[in-house]
Amino acid sequence: MRMSIRLLFLLSLIVIFIPSKGLASENLQAIIDSADDGAVIQLENKTYEGNIVINKQIEIIGDKKTVIKGDGTGNVVSIRSPYVTIRNLTVTNSSLDRNSSEEYAAIKVYTDHNVIDSVIIKHFFHGIYLSQAHFNTVQNSEITGLGKGQIANQGNGLHVYYANDNILKNNVIEGTRDGMFFDYANRNQMNNNRISETRYGLHYMYSDHNAFEGNTFTFNTGGAAIMHSRGIKLENNQFIFNYGHKSFGLLLLSAIDTVIEENTFFLNQRGLYIDQSTNSLIKNNQIIKNQIGVELWASSNEQNFTLNTIDENTLPAVTLGGQGRNEWSVDQKGNNWGKTFPVLDLNQDGIGDQPISYQSSLYELIEDQELTYLFLKSPAVAVYEKLNQFFNKNETMFEDPFPLVKNDHPSIHWIWYVLASLLILTVISIKGRHQLCIIFGKNGRKT
Amino acid sequence: MHYIWKEWKENIKGKGLWLSFGIIILVSVGLLFKSFTLSFDQGFYVLLINLFDAFVYFLPLLCLFLGAFSIFQEKEQKTLIMLLTRRDSFTSFLFKKSLAVHSMLIVPIFLWFFVYLIPAKFFFQVDLKSYFAFLVSIICIIVVYTQIGLLIGSISRSRMQIVGFTIGIWFYFFFIHDFILMSFLPDISYENVKLFSAVYFLNPIQAARMFLESSLGVYSFDHMSKLLKSFMWLKPGVFLLANGSILLVVSFIIAIIFHRKEGSE
């Protein structure tokens, strides 16, 4: 009797304190509907048929091979309750219909305070769509689109629409139309996402006071396009290999009060492309090996460049359509132009003794003819510039009154290179050639 | 085969071939060292583009000289006269000689870049398809410029002529060709853009570069304007193939028509 009472007591404790864990069956929607708020549904390693609507505060956890597959007619997972968590599963097969009244997604979130974690998303129109949804977290997810050839037929990896205060971090997005699309979305944070092979890695419209940190944008037609937005902060991001015909690392169009700090712009067609924008601080960035380091249209004003390294670009900076009111130094600190403009610093205060003035004639061609970009990698550009300089056709592109001087000591690597070169050349010209002649030919000198 | 073996034996005695291989090896090793700091994912693509950018500065010049001196040596040593009197026509000689010179250059370079892949694999995520595209673009440049070099060797009568022609042709393809096209840029419209594009891609450096960058996936042809779509009326690979074929055939024919059997030195 005593034993039975103990057993009953133990069972009661289990019922009261351990959250209910739904056993997933074929009909996932039925499981969700029958679950209580706060339930944790552990899914098995199999494919569940969608589409599903989550309207309870539950947690759905999958396993390595758990898949929720939509029927291709709408959103695969619709989250209509706050405080939902989806973790560790694959969601696939949303509708790709472009003519419907609604834009469908693999996961569409309509509510606040949800977490989407470690989810793999495939075959969708939009990957994850936050629709008027706030304070959500999307993290550690992989969103793979249909690829570059299908960009026009699909939507965006992360679509953020009228959604504020969300955190998007550690996601990998590839092959979608735009990697992340923001429309009227404020105060969001994007950290450590990797976006590649999209049209625009980041596409930004009418969204204010968002922060981007540690993101990588590679192999996109355009790295990040920030349009009609205010108070955006970009810090420590990498814009690499956005290399198409008129591609750019970062586009600012009608952007106000943007802060761009400690980012890397490497091997882009245009590192920074700024048009109709006002009051940006561009500080401490590495703008290296782009075809055009900075393309600045005259409609932009109060762009402040300071402490940037702008080096090894085919054209360091061009101003098009006339001169705007822009500054190439702040607090008497300009930019480091490296080998592009060697400067003297006799008083060794780290600031060049003479201001730098860059003249170019190529701006006219760039303004008038888009095919000019095809020639930016050609050595003929240097000849063109020199010749026009001779005929006085150059215009001043910018003046940096306080260029920085970096005291680079030659790297030890180069000493090794030179030594290795000398050694190899010596071996080839003295010993190697002689030996090889003997080995390979009767005509070789044997003595 | 006999020609290839003969070419190989002759060239390993000379400094030109070793100097060329030495420079290629040094530049590629140097750039590999320099690329160690690049990221694992994208570093390989950066390395390939940097290699191509470095090679286009000196590879055409080396190939022009090697091709030209290879023919001129036959003239100097009177072996050309001997070969032609015995059994060969100049066309047959030039064809065999071209094959021999191309093999002598391409095979070791191909082998070197096969070896080069091993250290690259330790530091980067290697994409073999992209690497193959890189090799194709480099080999196209080598073949085209070597053939032009053979043309120079065929029509020249002295070493000074070879130096003059070589530098002239290198300068043309490196600077003048694009410079002339740039001066026509303001007049380019939809009506004449195809012709402009055909001439643009007649420069092997531009054709190979476009092929390489599009094959690596770094140069995107998505969202092109109407003008650019008209400009890219063929695929980059087809442009490169057409460029290579035209320049090879034209160089070969001119060499046959204007060749001189004897050098003055």
- Distance between CA atoms of B227 and A396, rounded to whole angstroms? 30
DSSP assignment of A272-330 equals EEEES-EEEEEES-EEES-SEEEEEETT-EEEEEES-EEES-SEEEEEESS--S-BS-B
Report A:120-179 residues touching B (Cβ under 8 A). 148, 151
Write out chain A's pLDDT in tens, 447 residues: 566 666 656 655 554 554 444 444 458 999 999 999 999 999 999 999 979 999 999 999 999 899 999 999 999 999 999 999 999 999 999 998 888 888 899 999 999 999 999 999 999 999 999 999 999 999 999 999 987 666 677 899 999 999 999 999 999 999 999 999 999 999 999 999 999 988 899 998 999 999 999 999 988 888 999 999 999 999 999 998 887 777 899 999 999 999 999 999 998 989 999 999 999 999 999 999 899 999 998 888 899 999 999 998 988 998 888 777 889 999 999 999 988 888 888 888 888 888 988 888 888 888 888 888 889 888 888 888 888 888 877 788 888 999 998 765 555 555 566 656 666 666 666 555 555 555 444 444 443
Interface of A with B in 374-393 (CB under 8 A): 374-375, 377-381, 383-384
Query: Predicted ipTM?
Result: 0.85
Chain B residues in contact with A373 by the CB 8 A cut-off are none
A245 at interface of B, judged by CB pairs closer than 8 A: yes
Cβ-contact A253, A232 below 8 angstroms? no
- C-alpha torsion A336→A342→A344→A345, nearest 10: 20
Q: Is A199 on the interface with B (CB under 8 A)?
A: yes
**Beta carbons of B18 and A433 less than 8 Å apart:** yes
| Closest by Cβ to B42, choosing from A148, A199, A240 | A240
Chain length of chain A? 447
DSSP E strands in A12-114: the ranges are 21-23, 40-42, 47-49, 52-54, 59-61, 67-69, 77-79, 85-92, 105-109
Q: How far apart are the C-alpha atoms of A343 and B118, rounded to whole Å? A: 41
**C-alpha separations of B111 from A69, B30, B98, B137, B147 in Å:** 49, 18, 20, 16, 21
Beta bridge partners of A226: A204, A252
Closest-approach residue (CA) in chain A for B19: A425
Interface touch B182/A372, C-beta < 8 Å: yes
* Chain A residue numbers touching B178 (CB-CB < 8 A): 375, 378-381
Q: How far is CA B51 from the centre of its chain?
A: 14
Beta bridge partners of A87: A61, A117
Determine the residue of chain A that is closest to B231 in CA distance.
A371
Residue ranges per structural domain of chain B? 2-258
Kindly report, as residue ranges, where domains of CATH 2.160.20.10 are found in chain A.
Answer: 25-400
Task: Report the amino acid identity of residue A38.
Answer: G
Contacts of A271 (CB under 8 A, 6+ apart): A239, A248, A249, A250, A265, A287, A290, A292, A293, A294, A313
The whole-angstrom separation of Cα A396 and Cα A367 is 15
If you measure CA to CA, which chain B residue comes closest to A219? B218
Contact B222 A221 (CB under 8 A): yes
Residue-wise DSSP of B219-264: S--TT--HHHHHHT-S-HHHHHHHHHHHHHHHHHHHHHHH--S---
DSSP state of A152: G
- CATH assignment of A25-400, given 3.40.50.450, 1.10.10.10, 3.90.1150.10, 2.160.20.10? 2.160.20.10
* CA separation, residue A145 to residues A103, B7, B70, B233 (Å): 15, 53, 53, 28
Full-model pTM: 0.81
Alpha carbon distances (Å) from B109 to A96, A101, B71, B136, B142: 48, 59, 21, 12, 10
Q: Under an 8 A CB cutoff, do B178 and A247 touch?
A: no
How many whole angstroms separate alpha carbon A304 and alpha carbon A31? 57
Select the residue of B200, B218, B231 nearest A241 (Cβ to Cβ).
Answer: B218
Contact B178 A221 (CB under 8 A): no
Nearest alpha carbon to residue A274 among A244, A231, A304: A304
Q: Do A369 and B225 touch (CB under 8 A)?
A: no
* Residue A207 touches chain B, beta carbons under 8 Å: no
Nearest CA in chain B to A443: B9
